[in-house]
Amino acid sequence: MSTQRYINMITAGFAALVIVYAASFAADDPALLRPAAKTLPVLFLSICAWRAGGSGISFVPAALLLSSMGDLAGDLHAFLWQIGLFAAAHTAYIATFCRRRRATRGAVIFVVMLALAAAALAVYFISHIGDTTEKIFIAIYIAVITCMCATAALQQSRYRALYAAAALVFIFSDACIAWNKYVEPIPHAAVWIMSTYFAAQYTIARLYIRERLG
């Protein structure tokens, strides 16, 4: 099977599972259906990435698997577990990107600007959180996802810019979660959060699979 055909099949399967998740909002008892429906799209990407992995160690399939478990934790209202699982997922992404790091002047400038923006966001969001434990978790999580985005930009890959763009979209999705939870409700928050989240994870998985299969 050609690489492009395999990627097309993954795209179709992922899109179908996202549609199932969207349809779960209309279910009579979403509490039973939605957690599974939310978990499946990224779990599917994890399996596809694992199948394309070939020889050698890569943490991308593991990152996608941890993310799918974070999706499940979030829908079961286990917020701290959700943060912990996604922090672990980003750590797995970092492990992959760091193995092929290569700093360029443009990437370093991007990372400095990213760090300043992340620090400002961290201060702003933490100022709206009352619970001390949540403050600590959120602070650590912001640091980890910022490092993930930074290492995506600093890696030596022909898809470096696309990886970094996907990481930024991931940050935007999580910022929407934080804003909606701690600052003020966002109209149609689930649409903003999940559409950008799925787009980011799909892009990372697709780039990884294309690199692996050539």
What integer pLDDT is reported at residue 24 of this predicted model?
Answer: 83
Annotated domain spans of the chain: 3-213
What integer pLDDT is reported at residue 120 of this predicted model?
Answer: 97
What integer pLDDT is reported at residue 209 of this predicted model?
Answer: 94
What integer pLDDT is reported at residue 32 of this predicted model?
Answer: 65
Separation of alpha carbons 63 and 105, rounded Å: 28
Kindly report, residue by residue over 11-45, the tens digit of the pLDDT. Answer: 999 999 999 998 887 766 666 677 888 999 999 99
Low pLDDT (below 70) residues in the chain:
1, 27-32, 54-57
Q: Is 2 within 8 Å of 212 (Cβ atoms)?
A: no
What integer pLDDT is reported at residue 54 of this predicted model?
Answer: 60
Q: Which residues of 31-67 are buried (b: 16+ CB within 10 A; e: fewer)?
A: eebbbebbbbbbbbbbebbeebbeeeebbbbbbbbbb
